[in-house]
Amino acid sequence: MIIASFLGLICFFLQLRFPPILSDTLTYIGNMNTPLAMIIAGVSVAQTSIPAMLKHRRIYLVSLIKLIVMPSILFAILLIVRVNSTVAYTMLVAAACPCATTGTAFALKFQKNYAYSSEIYAFSTLCSLLTVPAFVFAAEQLL
C-alpha cells in the first residue's frame, strides 16, 4: 500500500497517463469498493441474532464512545476553533457516523469473530439514526 501510494504520487506530479484499457480497468475496480463493502456488511449483519447482539454489554460501550463521546469532543473543539461551516459539518458528520464495515471485512479476512464485528456495525448503525441528526441539529444551532 505504501509503495502504491508513492507510485500514485509520482504519477500525479509527473502527470503520467495510463492507456485507456488500464485506466478504465482501474476505474472499474475502484468503483466496486463501496458496493463490495456494503455486500460484506449486509451478509454479515443478516447472519447476526438481534437478541444475542443486545446481550453484549461492550457493544453499548463501543457505540457510546463512537456515536456520542467522540463527536462531542470534536463538537467542543469546533466551537472553540472556528472553521468554515461546510468543513465543520463534514467533520462532525464523519465523526458521528457508525462503526465502519472495515472491521467486519478485516475480521473475515483474518478469520476472527466477524459476527461480533457485524453486531457492533449493526447496533451502531441503528443508534446513529438518532445521534447523527442530533449532532447536525446542534451544529446548525451553534456553529
Q: What is the pLDDT of residues 85-105, one digit of tens each?
A: 888 899 998 898 887 777 777
Q: What is the pLDDT of residues 10-61, one digit of tens each?
A: 988 998 888 899 889 988 988 988 888 778 777 777 877 888 888 888 999 9
73, with CB counted inside 10 A (0-12, 13-18, 19+), is exposed
- Residue for cell digits 469498493? 33
Closest CA to 40 of 82, 103, 130, 124: 103
Cβ proximity of 62 and 122 under 8 Å: no
pLDDT of residue 76: 93
pLDDT of residue 61: 93
Closest CA to 102 of 114, 91, 90: 114
Task: Return d(Cα 2, Cα 103) in angstroms, integer.
Answer: 20
Residue 71 pLDDT class (50, 70, 90 cuts)? very high
